[in-house]
Amino acid sequence: MADAARSPKAFSLKRQPGFSSLAIACFLMLYAPIVVLVLYSFNAGTSIAIWEGFSWRWYEAAWQNEQIKDAATRSLIVAACATTVATTVATLAGLATTRTGKFRGQTAVFAIINQPLMVPEIVTAVALLIFFAIIKVATGYTGLVYLIAAHAAFCIPFAYLPIRARLEGMDLTLEHAAADLYATPWKTFRRVTLPLLWPGILAGAMLAFVISLDDVVITEFVKTAGQDTLPTYMLGQLRRVVTPEINAISTVFLAISVVLVCIFFFLNRKG
CA atoms within 13 A on the CB side of 191: 13
Average pLDDT over residues 140-147: 89
Average pLDDT over residues 97-119: 79
- φ, ψ for residue 254, nearest 5 deg: -60, -45
* pLDDT score for 181: 80
Between 257 and 133, residue with greater pLDDT: 133
User: What distance in Å separates the CA atoms of residue 11 and residue 195, rounded to the nearest whole number?
Assistant: 42
Look at the alpha carbons of 119, 121, 125, 128 in this order and tell me if their dihedral is positive or negative.
positive
Confidence of residue 86 (pLDDT cuts 50, 70, 90): very high
Percent of the chain topping pLDDT 90: 19
* pLDDT score for 89: 93
Name all domains of the chain by residue range, CATH numbers in brackets. Answer: 66-270 (1.10.3720.10)
Are 154 and 215 in contact by the 8 Å Cβ rule? The answer is yes
Number of residues that make up the chain: 271
User: What distance in Å separates the CA atoms of residue 166 and residue 200, rounded to the nearest whole number?
Assistant: 6
| DSSP state letter for 262 | H
